[in-house]
Chains A and B, each alone.
Chain A
Amino acid sequence: AQSVTQLGSHVSVSEGALVLLRCNYSSSVPPYLFWYVQYPNQGLQLLLKYTSAATLVKGINGFEAEFKKSETSFHLTKPSAHMSDAAEYFCAVSGANQAGTALIFGKGTTLSVSS
Protein backbone atom coordinates (compact mmCIF):
# COMPACT_ATOMS: atom_id res chain seq x y z
CA ALA A 1 0.00 0.00 0.00
CA GLN A 2 1.07 3.56 -0.64
CA SER A 3 0.55 6.78 1.30
CA VAL A 4 1.78 10.34 1.22
CA THR A 5 2.31 12.89 3.98
CA GLN A 6 2.62 16.54 3.11
CA LEU A 7 4.17 18.50 5.94
CA GLY A 8 2.53 21.88 6.37
CA SER A 9 -0.97 22.53 5.11
CA HIS A 10 -0.08 26.15 4.40
CA VAL A 11 3.21 27.71 3.31
CA SER A 12 3.70 31.46 2.88
CA VAL A 13 6.65 33.01 1.06
CA SER A 14 7.56 36.38 -0.33
CA GLU A 15 7.91 36.93 -4.04
CA GLY A 16 11.45 35.98 -5.07
CA ALA A 17 11.99 33.70 -2.09
CA LEU A 18 12.73 29.99 -2.18
CA VAL A 19 9.73 27.69 -2.27
CA LEU A 20 10.01 24.38 -0.42
CA LEU A 21 7.01 22.07 -0.15
CA ARG A 22 7.62 18.86 1.74
CA CYS A 23 6.40 15.40 0.86
CA ASN A 24 7.20 12.06 2.43
CA TYR A 25 5.90 8.80 1.07
CA SER A 26 5.36 5.27 2.19
CA SER A 27 5.23 2.46 -0.31
CA SER A 28 5.43 -1.31 -0.15
CA VAL A 29 6.73 -1.39 -3.73
CA PRO A 30 9.08 0.91 -5.68
CA PRO A 31 7.15 4.14 -6.03
CA TYR A 32 6.32 6.53 -8.78
CA LEU A 33 5.93 10.03 -7.37
CA PHE A 34 4.12 13.05 -8.72
CA TRP A 35 3.47 16.68 -7.90
CA TYR A 36 0.26 18.29 -9.12
CA VAL A 37 -0.88 21.90 -8.88
CA GLN A 38 -4.47 23.07 -8.59
CA TYR A 39 -5.41 26.67 -9.20
CA PRO A 40 -8.73 27.91 -7.75
CA ASN A 41 -11.74 26.31 -9.39
CA GLN A 42 -9.58 24.40 -11.83
CA GLY A 43 -8.43 20.82 -12.36
CA LEU A 44 -5.16 19.14 -11.50
CA GLN A 45 -2.12 19.95 -13.59
CA LEU A 46 0.96 17.74 -13.56
CA LEU A 47 4.07 19.64 -12.45
CA LEU A 48 6.55 16.79 -12.57
CA LYS A 49 6.97 13.06 -12.02
CA TYR A 50 9.56 10.60 -10.84
CA THR A 51 9.43 7.19 -12.47
CA SER A 52 12.76 5.62 -11.45
CA ALA A 53 15.00 7.46 -13.87
CA ALA A 54 16.94 10.52 -12.69
CA THR A 55 16.41 11.28 -9.01
CA LEU A 56 16.36 15.05 -9.64
CA VAL A 57 13.30 15.81 -11.70
CA LYS A 58 12.63 19.11 -13.41
CA GLY A 59 9.09 20.17 -14.13
CA ILE A 60 7.12 23.04 -15.53
CA ASN A 61 7.19 26.64 -14.29
CA GLY A 62 10.70 26.29 -12.80
CA PHE A 63 9.80 23.65 -10.23
CA GLU A 64 11.94 20.65 -9.45
CA ALA A 65 11.91 17.79 -6.95
CA GLU A 66 14.47 15.31 -5.72
CA PHE A 67 13.69 11.69 -4.93
CA LYS A 68 15.58 10.59 -1.82
CA LYS A 69 14.99 6.95 -1.10
CA SER A 70 16.92 6.99 2.19
CA GLU A 71 14.65 9.74 3.49
CA THR A 72 11.49 8.53 1.68
CA SER A 73 11.06 12.11 0.52
CA PHE A 74 10.13 13.93 -2.65
CA HIS A 75 10.21 17.60 -1.74
CA LEU A 76 9.22 20.24 -4.30
CA THR A 77 11.36 23.36 -4.71
CA LYS A 78 11.52 26.51 -6.77
CA PRO A 79 14.40 28.97 -6.37
CA SER A 80 12.33 32.12 -6.75
CA ALA A 81 8.61 32.35 -6.08
CA HIS A 82 6.28 34.27 -8.36
CA MET A 83 2.87 35.61 -7.51
CA SER A 84 1.37 33.25 -10.08
CA ASP A 85 2.67 30.25 -8.09
CA ALA A 86 -0.03 30.77 -5.46
CA ALA A 87 -2.11 27.58 -5.61
CA GLU A 88 -2.76 24.23 -3.95
CA TYR A 89 -0.02 21.64 -4.42
CA PHE A 90 -0.55 17.92 -4.12
CA CYS A 91 2.06 15.22 -3.82
CA ALA A 92 0.95 11.78 -5.01
CA VAL A 93 2.31 8.24 -5.16
CA SER A 94 1.55 5.13 -7.14
CA GLY A 95 3.24 1.78 -7.33
CA ALA A 96 5.77 1.16 -10.07
CA ASN A 97 4.71 -1.55 -12.50
CA GLN A 98 1.12 -1.23 -11.24
CA ALA A 99 -0.36 1.01 -13.89
CA GLY A 100 -3.95 0.05 -13.21
CA THR A 101 -3.89 0.94 -9.56
CA ALA A 102 -4.62 4.09 -7.68
CA LEU A 103 -2.69 7.32 -7.56
CA ILE A 104 -2.81 8.27 -3.89
CA PHE A 105 -2.77 11.95 -2.99
CA GLY A 106 -1.57 13.81 0.05
CA LYS A 107 -3.80 16.36 1.76
CA GLY A 108 -2.26 19.23 -0.15
CA THR A 109 -0.29 22.35 0.72
CA THR A 110 -1.62 25.80 0.01
CA LEU A 111 1.14 28.11 -1.20
CA SER A 112 0.65 31.82 -0.65
CA VAL A 113 3.00 34.34 -2.25
CA SER A 114 3.15 37.91 -1.00
CA SER A 115 4.67 40.91 -2.72
Chain B
Amino acid sequence: EPEVTQTPSHQVTQMGQEVILRCVPISNHLYFYWYRQILGQKVEFLVSFYNNEISEKSEIFDDQFSVERPDGSNFTLKIRSTKLEDSAMYFCASRAGEGYGYTFGSGTRLTVV
Protein backbone atom coordinates (compact mmCIF):
# COMPACT_ATOMS: atom_id res chain seq x y z
CA GLU B 1 0.00 0.00 0.00
CA PRO B 2 1.37 3.46 -0.87
CA GLU B 3 2.86 5.38 2.04
CA VAL B 4 3.78 8.90 2.97
CA THR B 5 7.47 8.88 3.92
CA GLN B 6 9.00 11.32 6.38
CA THR B 7 12.65 11.88 7.16
CA PRO B 8 14.34 12.02 9.57
CA SER B 9 12.34 10.12 12.16
CA HIS B 10 13.99 12.09 14.95
CA GLN B 11 15.91 15.35 14.84
CA VAL B 12 17.58 17.21 17.66
CA THR B 13 18.51 20.83 17.08
CA GLN B 14 19.74 23.77 19.09
CA MET B 15 17.46 26.69 19.75
CA GLY B 16 17.78 29.31 17.04
CA GLN B 17 18.88 26.87 14.36
CA GLU B 18 17.03 26.24 11.12
CA VAL B 19 15.53 22.83 10.47
CA ILE B 20 14.01 21.27 7.38
CA LEU B 21 11.61 18.40 7.74
CA ARG B 22 11.13 16.29 4.65
CA CYS B 23 8.19 14.38 3.30
CA VAL B 24 7.54 12.33 0.21
CA PRO B 25 3.77 12.23 -0.36
CA ILE B 26 2.01 9.51 -2.29
CA SER B 27 2.82 10.06 -5.92
CA ASN B 28 -0.64 10.70 -7.39
CA HIS B 29 -1.88 12.82 -4.50
CA LEU B 30 -2.63 16.48 -5.09
CA TYR B 31 -3.10 17.95 -1.62
CA PHE B 32 -0.41 18.13 1.02
CA TYR B 33 -0.50 19.05 4.69
CA TRP B 34 1.67 19.54 7.74
CA TYR B 35 0.44 18.91 11.26
CA ARG B 36 2.15 18.90 14.62
CA GLN B 37 1.47 17.13 17.89
CA ILE B 38 3.06 18.42 21.06
CA LEU B 39 3.63 15.56 23.49
CA GLY B 40 0.36 14.53 25.12
CA GLN B 41 -1.72 17.02 23.18
CA LYS B 42 -3.96 16.91 20.16
CA VAL B 43 -2.92 16.98 16.54
CA GLU B 44 -2.85 20.57 15.28
CA PHE B 45 -3.13 21.75 11.70
CA LEU B 46 -0.30 23.90 10.39
CA VAL B 47 -0.70 24.33 6.64
CA SER B 48 -2.23 22.90 3.49
CA PHE B 49 -0.67 23.10 0.03
CA TYR B 50 -2.22 22.61 -3.39
CA ASN B 51 -1.18 23.51 -6.90
CA ASN B 52 2.17 24.82 -5.67
CA GLU B 53 0.76 27.27 -3.20
CA ILE B 54 -0.53 27.45 0.33
CA SER B 55 -4.31 27.00 0.39
CA GLU B 56 -4.82 27.43 4.12
CA LYS B 57 -2.68 28.00 7.20
CA SER B 58 -3.31 28.18 10.92
CA GLU B 59 -2.26 30.86 13.38
CA ILE B 60 0.58 28.57 14.43
CA PHE B 61 2.11 28.85 10.95
CA ASP B 62 3.78 32.22 11.40
CA ASP B 63 6.69 33.80 9.55
CA GLN B 64 9.12 31.31 11.09
CA PHE B 65 7.56 28.53 9.04
CA SER B 66 7.61 27.91 5.32
CA VAL B 67 6.74 25.06 2.99
CA GLU B 68 8.05 24.08 -0.38
CA ARG B 69 7.63 21.43 -3.02
CA PRO B 70 11.02 21.81 -4.64
CA ASP B 71 11.07 18.99 -7.15
CA GLY B 72 7.59 17.60 -7.66
CA SER B 73 8.06 14.74 -5.22
CA ASN B 74 9.35 16.16 -1.94
CA PHE B 75 7.33 18.40 0.35
CA THR B 76 9.31 20.23 3.01
CA LEU B 77 8.59 22.20 6.14
CA LYS B 78 11.23 24.71 7.20
CA ILE B 79 11.45 26.33 10.60
CA ARG B 80 13.84 29.27 10.35
CA SER B 81 14.80 29.84 13.96
CA THR B 82 13.64 27.08 16.23
CA LYS B 83 12.27 27.73 19.70
CA LEU B 84 11.93 25.33 22.60
CA GLU B 85 8.17 25.28 22.09
CA ASP B 86 8.64 23.97 18.55
CA SER B 87 9.51 20.61 20.07
CA ALA B 88 6.81 18.26 18.82
CA MET B 89 6.02 15.43 16.46
CA TYR B 90 5.47 16.79 12.97
CA PHE B 91 3.25 14.83 10.61
CA CYS B 92 3.01 15.18 6.87
CA ALA B 93 -0.17 14.08 5.10
CA SER B 94 -1.38 13.85 1.54
CA ARG B 95 -4.71 13.34 -0.12
CA ALA B 96 -5.73 12.31 -3.62
CA GLY B 97 -8.66 14.69 -3.78
CA GLU B 98 -12.17 15.43 -2.69
CA GLY B 99 -13.80 12.63 -0.72
CA TYR B 100 -10.58 10.74 -0.15
CA GLY B 101 -8.94 10.06 3.19
CA TYR B 102 -5.84 11.83 4.39
CA THR B 103 -2.79 9.53 4.53
CA PHE B 104 -0.31 10.44 7.24
CA GLY B 105 3.37 9.71 7.49
CA SER B 106 4.98 8.24 10.61
CA GLY B 107 6.16 11.65 11.72
CA THR B 108 9.39 13.43 12.61
CA ARG B 109 10.04 13.99 16.28
CA LEU B 110 11.72 17.38 16.60
CA THR B 111 13.51 18.13 19.85
CA VAL B 112 14.80 21.67 20.36
CA VAL B 113 17.39 22.00 23.10
Contact = CB atoms under 8 A, between A and B. Distances in A.
B43 A99 contact: no
Nearest to A49: B101
Contact of B102 (A46, A97, A108): A46
A61 to B, nearest CB: 15
Interface string A31-45: 010101000001111
Nearest to A46: B101
Interface stretch (B13-21, B48-56, B62-70, B72-80): B48-56
B103 A46 contact: yes
Contacts of B44: 105
A103 B45 contact: yes
Q: How large is the interface on B (under 10, 10 to 19, 20 to 34, 35 or more residues)?
A: 20 to 34
A49 B99 CA distance: 9
In terms of DSSP, what is the predominant structure of the interface of chain A? Answer: loop
Contacts of B43: 44, 90, 92, 105, 108
Interface in B16-34: 30-31, 33
A7 B91 CA distance: 24
Contacts of B106: 42-43
A101 to B, nearest CB: 5
Nearest to B104: A44
B33 A103 contact: yes
Contacts of A99: 30-31, 50, 95, 97-98
15 contacts: A34-B102, A43-B91, A43-B105, A44-B91, A44-B104, A46-B101, A49-B101, A52-B99, A90-B43, A96-B98, A99-B31, A100-B50, A100-B56, A103-B102, A108-B43
The 4 lowest CB-CB distance pairs between A and B, nearest first, are A100-B55, A102-B45, A43-B106, A44-B104
